[in-house]
Amino acid sequence: MAEKLLEVKNLCVSFKTRKGVVRAVNNLSFSINHGEVLGIVGESGSGKSVSMSAVMGLIKDENAEITGEVFFNGEDLLKKSDEELRAIRGKDIAMVFQDPMTALTPVYTIGWHIREQLQLHSDISDKDAKARAIELLEEVGIPDPEKRVDQYPHEFSGGMRQRAIIAMALSLNPKLLIADEPTTALDVTIQAQILDLLERLRKTYNSSIIIITHDMGVVSELSSEVLVMYAGRMVERSTKSSLFANPQHPYTKGLMNSVPRVDRARTSRLETISGQPASLLNLPSGCAFRNRCPSAHAACTEQPTFISDSNGYGAACFLLTEGVRS
């Protein structure tokens, strides 16, 4: 088997606060191969963004405690100094954030931003960098790139800005692109275009993509594998097709049922997952989802182990073990 591009093992992130310790990410383990797309799904506060920030070394809070191992190309990122990480950020691992409206410094032109990204990691002249920026803008589908390159972020629409940010992120041909809810702040019509763009660029550049989202639609468009998180833990991991066809964990089932579907008869109101997301300050004992779970039973007061097959696919739920037993 080829070496994994990114392998996260037992990643834990916790924050000390005045009210107690917030366990934002708990024992997260996953991996991604070259050229793959992994979707990380979960509601707000499930730890999906925090875990990616931890991977990138972007958590600056002195109250944060990060343990575990993050192997990127065989090297543990968590053991690296800030200086060493900086050489990797932007070059080998690039990131695209949720809100394109605020993600660029307003006083610099789009071209300036791309040039900065190029010059942070390579010795490229201003002139060449600008030419490359124009090329990149053209590639992500921005019309009239020679003119647009000298425009400021406020002169771009949201979708155009996100395209420009993607162009910037891909400018150094990174091995991994982490997209943190890249379409959430955009119009629905633009969302599909951005997802198409990501997919097209993945094929051209052969980058791996981790896409963080709470939108099952985004997952279905893009991912080959899906990881579902709840309250800082991975509750299910599966291929996209089997996840949609046969979700294992009750939380995943709940997520699926709360998406409107055209292939099902409209019999009743759309289902929701009852209750509130678990508070990370005060997690229930055992399975964090048990207070909202329709199948909860006595065993759930213990923490279920993640039961997986040889591919690492599986779920953390007692229903599976009991299913196996019966």
Please report, as ranges, the residues that interact with other proteins according to CB under 8 A. Answer: 56, 58, 62, 86-91, 94-95, 97, 99, 102-107, 116-117, 120-121, 152, 154, 165, 168
CB of 324 to other proteins, least distance (A): 42
User: Least Å distance between CB 183 and other proteins?
Assistant: 16
Beta carbon nearer to other proteins, 109 or 248: 109
DSSP string, 277-298: PPPTTSPPSS-TTTTT-TT--G
Other CB atoms within 10 Å distance of the CB of residue 185: 19
CA distance 164 to 82: 27
Please, which residue, 6 or 234, has the CB nearer to other proteins? 6
**Which of residues 97 and 306 has its CB atom nearest to other proteins in the complex?**
97
Nearer to other proteins, 87 or 270 (CB): 87
Output the smallest distance, CB 139 to other proteins, in A. Answer: 19
Integer-rounded Cα radius of gyration of the chain: 21
Q: Which is nearer to other proteins, 105 or 204 (CB)?
A: 105
C-beta of residue 264 within 8 angstroms of C-beta of residue 248: no
| Cα–Cα nearest to 217, from 3, 41, 14 | 41
Residues 37-55 as b or e (16 or more Cβ within 10 Å = b): bbbbbbeebbbbbbbbbbb
How far apart are CB 181 and other proteins at their closest, in Å?
Answer: 12
What's the first-to-final CA gap in the chain, in angstroms? Answer: 34
Question: Least distance (Å) from other proteins to the CB of residue 24?
Answer: 17
